[in-house]
Amino acid sequence: MDIFIQQILNGLSIASVITLIAIGVTLIFGLTGIINFAHGEFLMIGGIVTWLAVSAGLGFPLAVVLAILAVGLMGYILERGLFRFTLERPTNGFIVSLGLIVVLQHVVVLFWNPNQKSIPRPLTTVWEVGGVRIASVRVMVIAITIAVVALSFRMITASRYGRALRASVEDRDTAALMGIPVRRYITGVFVLGSALAGLGGALLIALFPITPFTGGTMVMKGFAVALIGGLGNIYGAVAAGLILGIVEGFSAGYGFSQWTDAYSFALMILVLIVRPHGLFGGTSGPRMAS
Amino acid sequence: MKTVLKMGASAALCLGVLAHPAFAEDNIVKIGVVAAESGSFVSAGHTLPAGVGLAVKQINDAGGINVGGKNYKLEMVKRDDRTDIATAIAATQELVRDVKVQAIFGSETHDFTLAMAKITQPAKIIHFAGNSTLAKILTPDSVKPGGEDHYLFQSEPQEFQRSGSTARGVLTLLEPLLGYKPKKSVMIVGNDATGQFLSSYYFKALKAEGQDVPDIIFYPPDTTDFSPFLTRAKSLNPDIIHFWYNGDSTLTALPQALELGAAKSYFLFGVDPGIWKEKQLSADVPVAMSCVPVCWGESSNPKAKAYFDAYFAAGAPHGVTSSVSLLYHDYVHFLAEAWEKAGSFDPDKTVEALLTLHHQGVVSDDLTFNPTHQVTHATEVCAAAPGGAISCSMQQPPAEAPKS
Amino acid sequence: MTEGLHQDRAGCGLKALRSLLPVLVILALIALVPLFSPSNRFLSLAISAGINVIALYGLSVLFGQTGILSMGHAALVGVGAYAAAILARDFGVGFWAALPAAALASAAFAMIVGIPSLRVGGHHFVIMTFAFGQLLAIVLTNGGDYTGAATGLDLAGPVTLFGADMSDLTRYYLMVVAFVTTAAVASWAIINSSYGRTLRAIRENEKLAASLGINVGRHKIGAFVVSGIFAGISGVLLAYFLGHISPSQFSSFPSIYLALMVMIGGARLIEGPLAGGILVAFLPEVLNLDPVQSRIVYGVCLIAVIMLLPDGLIGGVVRALRAALSGKPKPETQQRNATPSEARR
Amino acid sequence: MSPILAINGLSKQFGGVTALAGVDLAIEEGEILGVVGPNGSGKTTLFNVVTGVHRPSGGTVLFRGQDITGLKPHAISRAGIGYTFQQAMAFAGLGVLENVRIAGEHVGTDSTANPWPTPQALLDFVGLSAVANEKAGVLPFGSLRLLGLALALATRPSLLLLDEPAAGLNDRETTALVGLVRQLPGHGISVCVIDHDMKLMQMLCRRLAVLDFGSKISDGPTEAVLADPKVLEVYLGGDL
């Protein structure tokens, strides 16, 4: 029985990192229509910044804050510099993000070599409850993710800013006519999504070593979860993140372990065919203002 | 304009030829190396040229080699295959047909070597590769004269030998540290070409040692979160969890295994005690390590220390796979000795010499190739007690493959 | 949009033929290269790049003409390569017989991937093809002995053409150049046919195309299948040239790499795939550029191309030349709205 | 003589909203019929259902006796019904000539004789031959409308549906358009114009059908319909 609980716990910690990415993707892709496939590299750079900060002697909490700020700033620069011009043609935004994947990965390789980077675990205590080992660092990751989910959920749905944001998704022109500064909101969402990726990267390197190429595999799972949950639907992203985390945890634990990566792709293809707007219903990206 | 260019070029050529005879007696013998110095397989790639380069320097410092009455100096021509098969093919074509090397070493990536062999063998170029997976194509009739792999040599022991000696070493070294005879083992292996090939042999080797091996757990190669796999292994409550074969993945998985208390002891294939010390790793349970073929951090092989001191002095990076360089270093010396014995660079005479010689190398004093061009030698296994003391011992391989 | 210019004036065949001329001239020059006795490394890299270009012509039909961006094109090349290897191993089918069979296999796989993916449409389509590419790599890795698992498959069979053994690099090089020429001519034929016009109509405005009698769904699948045929043939050539294929050669990054190449070259130009193959796959290797830096340059170059030169680097250069020659600068605005792909709602 | 298009009991619901409530309508051969009604009367829904964009909830559409209810847009076009859109549409990135060539390459088998055998002839007819080699995207709005008409005619329809064809045109352009549409019956093409611009309808149509809240409230000669008190009260709120 303890093994079963242990696998659920494992699934939870996988799910939390994937969910953090998925929320970033679902916010950016769902609410601004920018398909940023380099979101995985934003995550990786969050991890690298944390690694640099910790190896420079800073404490982990400060390093995490630095990671969030750094990646948020990077998001701002890239949105203002590049993605702003591709809003009318999302496919161009997608192609730009492909270029970004290659650039960001190899800039990190150029400066800090392609090898694995890791930081000493911020929390090392491991509790043992009835045969189930609970690592405090994983509990921290899960707790932070829950807090972030609650915060962004409230902000997107409950606050004035959130409602205006969702209006600008339904119809950008009408929202603009109603005095909603659509451009500023899109930048805001992009920076928020990027900051989330920075946080995700910091938490990821707290759990395991990363390489400049770690972003690639992670982003596909993030997109799969965002699409399964329904674009722009945070509730969907959280639910789908949990489902996928548990499925991967159990497939690795009980099923055919070598097929673990296949599930997220197969699930995504199935869901998109049956329900193109995701299990919990989301936008399919904003209507083009054509 | 064009004609002027032509004239200038031909003039330079003549001068070149004129200058050449001044150093007539020091002819150059070129040895090619193909390894991944960039791209995802870079950790193994740096060690190969470093190992060959050190051997070439040692031979040249000792005055080069005397073949058929003439003295030759060796020159290493190395190419980066960038972990991309098309680049590896192009590099091999260049070394074989343009640079016209006498021998080729590499690459560390199994399927690149197979593709390269299709170029080196028809061109009768002696080709050394440290992949035990070459056993698939080195068969009695493929290596006989005229066969399609007559000039191909596997500079790593056959997998059943390496797995056999490793399994035996791990079990004998861990038993005293555990305080009882381990009976149950679980293997956790990367699901890629090398992982799939090696695990089938190691599984049989563990069975031959009387181990109960209830499960081999394959994980996708770029996994970072191993906890579900480790929990599955824990559910079988094994005495030993054996991690195969990629050092980086193994070092990612170990802290998670210790956290989960997945097993009573662990075996990390391809992690050198040198890395264990350098990264100040520690564990509250015994941990065994093995190096292909000899460890550099701590070794029971007397010549290893001198070799690795020279190896690192020459600027090679301290890597998880630094010991892999020995799979190539010894065989440059072996080849040089074969050329001197054969008295010529004729490929067929050289192959004959390689098959008859007993070469005294770093790894072992009696390196020989068996009839299917595969080398046999011991493998070094070390074990770190929870306190941290590391002890190593060379393990002799079993005589022949276990049944079943 | 330069490519459009070709068609507009291509009222009758002659003008259309003139649009093919530059590519044929370039390919003729490329075919003469062996006379300058290039190094075997040069030939080997040129052959690998050439094999990529054949696949790129398929992508230029799919993306350049129909505006469908696929991130699974390398997977289609993989299907062709594995089909050739399995046919050779199990049925002793040689190189030449494997070509049509592999093209058919890739085309069939393209349909299997295309139908569900196109049903989804929009941006999700790209991610669907990406997912199919990853799934194929996983299936091949866990395919046991049949697919050679992670080790991949060996291809021992020699390639012979009218009896001549093609393992000599110069002969293989010339054969690849011939295949690239055929691919270019085929792609040109498609562009200048009514089929090509139909694809461009779909790219420009699906709703209007449907109102004029075009079965948009079927033609999109058709374009996907056509791109599969080009990819399948490229796969066979790759398998026989490398002699050994493994799943990692056909997973997601190679697909991004192919998309990157066709976009930098200019997906809508007949010269585009050839230029993309040379610029991205061939030159950096031949000039021995540092791989890390050259990849950063590609990335930046791709971003610049998309933001500034919607028709790719070559499109931009050609247009600049044409503007310089004809003396009247092309109005920049006119090019703005003719970008590679209009997202349709 | 049986009507070229017979719509019987056509209905369409979007969720709870009834857009069309059992409309019966017939278009005679060689006629220019006007379908009018205030915004939200179901005119555009009728257009979208007949052209296959939406599937009807009930009723049938017969075209030359053949049941085309629920066919996909491209099948409707091949059957011989051409149509233009409210927002003028063209293949912006392609040349004007190429636009028309494309439109003519997907003609159904049972289309009638072709009054304009070549794309150039069609461009001459609508007066766009001067810009044949220009990109469609750069055309002024008026020319874009004419190109839309040319594209629909290139499919060699025997019935042409026009959804607010003169929207956004100035008087000179509208007169030119009316001149062109008037000639269509002469070329064997019946026309149905859907609009709320009464002035345009009076110029073009001899017969009007009036829709209100998804049902037909009047159908007859233009003068009679305009004098019909029901139409006045519902549609014009007072005298014309």
Query: Are there at least 3 beta-carbon pairs closer than 8 Å between B and D?
Result: no
CB contact under 8 A, B219 and A258: yes
> Coil, helix or strand for D14?
strand
pLDDT recorded at residue D239: 45
Residues of A with a Cβ under 8 Å from any B Cβ are: 3, 6-7, 10-11, 13-14, 114-116, 118, 121, 126, 128, 133, 135, 204, 207-211, 213-214, 217, 248-254, 257-258, 260-261
Domains of chain A (ranges; CATH) run 2-274 (1.10.3470)
Q: Rounded to an integer, what distance in angstroms lies between the CA atom of residue C174 and that of residue A273?
A: 44
CB contact under 8 A, B228 and A217: no
Please report, for the domain that includes residue D178, its CATH number. 3.40.50.300
Nearest residue in B to C292, CA atom: B38
pLDDT recorded at residue B75: 94
pLDDT recorded at residue B43: 63
Model confidence at D52: pLDDT above 60 = yes
Nearest residue in A to B190, CA atom: A258
Instruction: Kindly state the percentage of chain D with pLDDT values over 70.
Output: 95
pLDDT recorded at residue C328: 54
Question: Is any Cβ of chain C less than 8 angstroms from the Cβ of A236?
Answer: no
- Which residue, among A55, A117, A134, A257, would best test binding to B if mutated, counting the most B CBs under 10 Å from its CB? A257
> Chain A contacts of B229, Cβ < 8 Å?
252-253, 257
CB contact under 8 A, A6 and B219: no
Nearest Cα to B376, choosing from B201, B152, B156, B187?
B156
Q: For chain D, give me the number of helices (H) and strands (E)?
A: 9, 10
pLDDT recorded at residue C209: 92
Strands B240-244 and B184-190, by their bridges, are parallel
Nearest Cα to D154, choosing from D184, D191, D117, D187?
D117
- Which residue, among A133, A204, A205, A247, would best test binding to B if mutated, counting the most B CBs under 10 Å from its CB? A133
Those residues with Cβ within 8 angstroms of residue B121's Cβ, 6 or more apart along the chain or in another chain? B127, B148, B149, B150, B151, B152
pLDDT band at B100 (very low <50, low <70, confident <90, very high): very high
Model confidence at A70: pLDDT above 80 = yes
pLDDT digits (tens, 9 = 90+) for B265-290: 999 988 888 888 888 888 889 999 98
Helix ranges (DSSP H) in D128-221: 141-154, 171-183, 198-204
CB contact under 8 A, C306 and A92: yes
* Residue A29 per-residue DSSP state: I
Assigned token pair, A21: 């990415």
pLDDT digits (tens, 9 = 90+) for C15-43: 778 888 888 999 999 999 888 888 888 99
Question: Mean pLDDT of all residues in chain C?
Answer: 83
Model confidence at D74: pLDDT above 60 = yes
Q: What is the mean pLDDT of residues D51-65?
A: 89
Model confidence at B9: pLDDT above 60 = no
pLDDT band at B2 (very low <50, low <70, confident <90, very high): very low
pLDDT recorded at residue B41: 64
Q: What is the mean pLDDT of residues B205-215?
A: 91
B23: buried, middle or exposed (CB in 10 Å: 19+, 13-18, 0-12)? exposed
pLDDT recorded at residue D240: 44
CB contact under 8 A, C48 and B118: no
Comparing A59-68, B198-207, D110-119, which segment has the lowest mean pLDDT? Answer: D110-119
Assigned token pair, B157: 């022991």
- Contact partners for chain B, using 3 or more CB pairs closer than 8 A, are A, C
pLDDT recorded at residue C340: 40
pLDDT recorded at residue B403: 74
Nearest to B227 among A10, A114, A261 (CB): A10
Residue-wise DSSP of A190-201: HHHHHHHHHHHH
pLDDT recorded at residue A248: 83
pLDDT recorded at residue B220: 85
pLDDT recorded at residue A253: 78
For the domain spanning C2-33+40-336, the CATH number is 1.10.3470
Residues of C with a Cβ under 8 Å from any B Cβ are: 39-41, 43-45, 48, 138, 141-142, 149-152, 154, 167, 169, 241-244, 246, 249, 285, 291-292
**Range A62-70 contact pairs with CB under 8 angstroms and sequence separation of 24 or more:** A63/A119, A63/A202, A64/A199, A64/A202, A64/A203, A67/A198, A67/A199, A67/A201, A67/A202, A68/A195, A68/A198, A68/A199, A68/A202, A69/A195, A69/A198, A70/A45, A70/A46, A70/A198
Question: Is any Cβ of chain A less than 8 angstroms from the Cβ of C343?
Answer: yes
Q: What is the CA radius of gyration of chain A?
A: 19
pLDDT band at C82 (very low <50, low <70, confident <90, very high): very high
Q: Where are the domains of chain C?
A: 2-33+40-336
CB contact at 8 A, D63 and D79: yes
Model confidence at A255: pLDDT above 80 = no
CB contact under 8 A, B110 and C151: yes
Model confidence at B17: pLDDT above 70 = no
Give the number of other Cβ atoms within 10 Å of residue A129's Cβ. 9
Model confidence at C184: pLDDT above 90 = yes
Q: Rounded to an integer, what distance in angstroms lies between the CA atom of residue B8 and that of residue B6?
A: 6
Question: Mean pLDDT of all residues in chain D?
Answer: 86
Nearest Cα to C125, choosing from C134, C115, C135, C140?
C115
Of the two residues A185 and D184, the one the predictor is more confident about is D184
pLDDT digits (tens, 9 = 90+) for C192-236: 998 999 999 999 999 999 999 999 989 999 999 999 999 999 999
pLDDT recorded at residue B188: 93
Domains of chain B (ranges; CATH) run 23-157+303-356 (3.40.50.2300), 159-300+379-395 (3.40.50.2300)
pLDDT recorded at residue C3: 40
- Which residue, among B40, B187, B225, would best test binding to A if mutated, counting the most A CBs under 10 Å from its CB? B225
Give the closest-approach CA distance of D23 to chain C in angstroms.
23
Of the two residues D115 and C300, the one the predictor is more confident about is C300
Question: Is any Cβ of chain D less than 8 angstroms from the Cβ of C13?
Answer: no
> Chain C contacts of B133, Cβ < 8 Å?
151
pLDDT recorded at residue B56: 93
Give B 183-222 residues with CB within 8 A of chain A: 191, 217-220, 222
Comparing A67-71, A148-152, B347-351, C54-58, which segment has the lowest mean pLDDT? Answer: A148-152
Give the closest-approach CA distance of C117 to chain A in angstroms.
8
Q: Rounded to an integer, what distance in angstroms lies between the CA atom of residue D25 and that of residue D17?
A: 21
CB contact at 8 A, A25 and A194: no
- Contact partners for chain D, using 3 or more CB pairs closer than 8 A, are C
Sheet strands side by side (includes B152-154): B65-67, B70-80, B27-35, B103-106, B126-129, B152-154
pLDDT recorded at residue C201: 93
- Which residue, among C212, C214, C333, C339, would best test binding to D if mutated, counting the most D CBs under 10 Å from its CB? C212
Strand partners, B381: B290, B393
Give the closest-approach CA distance of B234 to chain A in angstroms.
8
Question: Is any Cβ of chain A less than 8 angstroms from the Cβ of C15?
Answer: no
CB contact under 8 A, B193 and C246: yes
Q: Structural domain tally of chain D?
A: 1
Nearest Cα to B351, choosing from B207, B197, B147?
B147
CB contact at 8 A, B247 and A209: no
> Chain C contacts of B86, Cβ < 8 Å?
44-45, 48, 242
* Residue B398 per-residue DSSP state: P
Of the two residues D222 and C336, the one the predictor is more confident about is D222
> Chain C contacts of B94, Cβ < 8 Å?
39-41, 44
Question: Is any Cβ of chain C less than 8 angstroms from the Cβ of A177?
Answer: no
